[in-house]
Amino acid sequence: MTAARVHVARDHEAASRAAAEEFVRQIADRSRNATTFVALSGGSTPKRMYQMLAGDEFRPMVTWGQVHFFWSDERPVPPTDPDSNYRMASEALLQPLGIAPGQIHRMRGEDLDLPAAARAYEEEMARAFGVQWKSHPPRFDLVLLGLGADGHTASLFPRTVALQERRHWVVANPVPQLRTTRLTMTYPVLNAARCVLFLVTGRDKAEAVARVFSPTGAVEEVPARGVCPHDGELVWFLDEAAARRLDG
């Protein structure tokens, strides 16, 4: 596993703030001079961090007009659905920042043909990065990820087929344990990033965090273990509750 920087903060608020500081540290300089690419995580944990980034303290630190926003995964719901990862980030971050539509690249979770939606998202990524999708995976400046209590990240769930994908950047991943199929970025894209930032808080994640950092354990069972940026940084922000099973 790539050597990770691990920061443990007192609680969810402190961990969110530390993660927001890292988010800015990772992209502030680049955004002043170049188009900057960020993949947002879903779920509920990052909402407070997103709100902070859009707030008076952090907002002025980034040239947001240069930042393009993608998602690491999306549920099979419309963008107006309470479960939509797009909706949460749009309400907490993108709308408050006034991000232009051309900078927002939403996964079409509502499409009935999710494999086609995955292909379309790869094409959109290729256009935004100015590459051919059959080339090497695009290199995101920053990928934000969360961790499920079962060890999943993005929508890479234990024992699902997307864990084996080495060519496509985005796939429709059947998740039998949830009786659903989700769109998700794959390890080739996640591991091409300049920086991957995990934000994980709460007692219910302590076991999964311990399994990620255990010296043994199969990626198949703990998919977050498979996130190891080849030539980039891996940073974890935890609160004390989520870190309580870590040694040392």
Regarding 62 and contact with ligand 6PG (CB under 6 A), the answer is: no
Rounded to a whole number of angstroms, the minimum distance from the CB of residue 128 to ligand 6PG is 20
- Per the DSSP assignment, residues forming a β-bridge with 234 are 196
Q: How far is the CB of 165 from ligand 6PG (least distance, A)?
A: 16
**Which region among 69-77, 106-114, 118-126, 186-194 touches ligand 6PG (by CB under 6 A)?**
69-77
Nearest residue (CB) to ligand 6PG, 49 versus 192: 49
Q: Which H helix or E strand runs over 27?
A: helix 12-33
Considering the rule CB under 6 A, would residue 43 count as an interface residue with ligand 6PG?
A: yes
φ/ψ of residue 86, rounded to 5: -60, -45
Q: Which is nearer to ligand 6PG, 147 or 192 (CB)?
A: 147
By CB under 6 A, residue 45 contacts ligand 6PG: yes
Cβ-based nearer residue to ligand 6PG, 31 or 243: 243
Sheet containing 180-185: which strands, arranged edge to edge? Answer: 73-74, 180-185, 170-175
- By the 10 Å C-beta count (0-12 exposed, 13-18 middle, 19+ buried), 207 is classed as middle
Taking CB under 6 A as the criterion, the residue among 2, 5, 44, 159 binding ligand 6PG is: 44
Binding mask 131-160 for ligand 6PG (x = CB under 6 A): ---------------xxx---xxxx-----
Which residues are CB-neighbours of 47 under 8 A, at least 6 positions away?
Answer: 88, 92
**Token digits for 17?**
């703030």
Beta strands in 113-232 (DSSP E): 142-145, 170-175, 180-185, 195-200
- Region of 151 (left: φ > 0; alpha: ψ -120 to 50; beta: rest) is left
> At 202, is the secondary structure helix, strand, or coil?
coil
**From candidates 31, 41, 90, 181, binder to ligand 6PG by CB under 6 A:** 41
Residue count at the site for ligand 6PG (CB under 6 A)? 16
Which of 81-120 are b and which e, b meaning 16 or more Cβ less than 10 Å from the residue's Cβ?
eeebbbbbbbebbbeebebeeebbbbbbbbbeebeebbbe
- State which residue, 44 or 95, has the beta carbon closest to ligand 6PG: 44
* Binding status of residue 173 toward ligand 6PG by CB under 6 A: no
The answer to whether 177 contacts ligand 6PG (rule: CB under 6 A) is no
Binding site for ligand 6PG (CB under 6 A): 41-45, 72-73, 75, 85, 146-148, 152-155
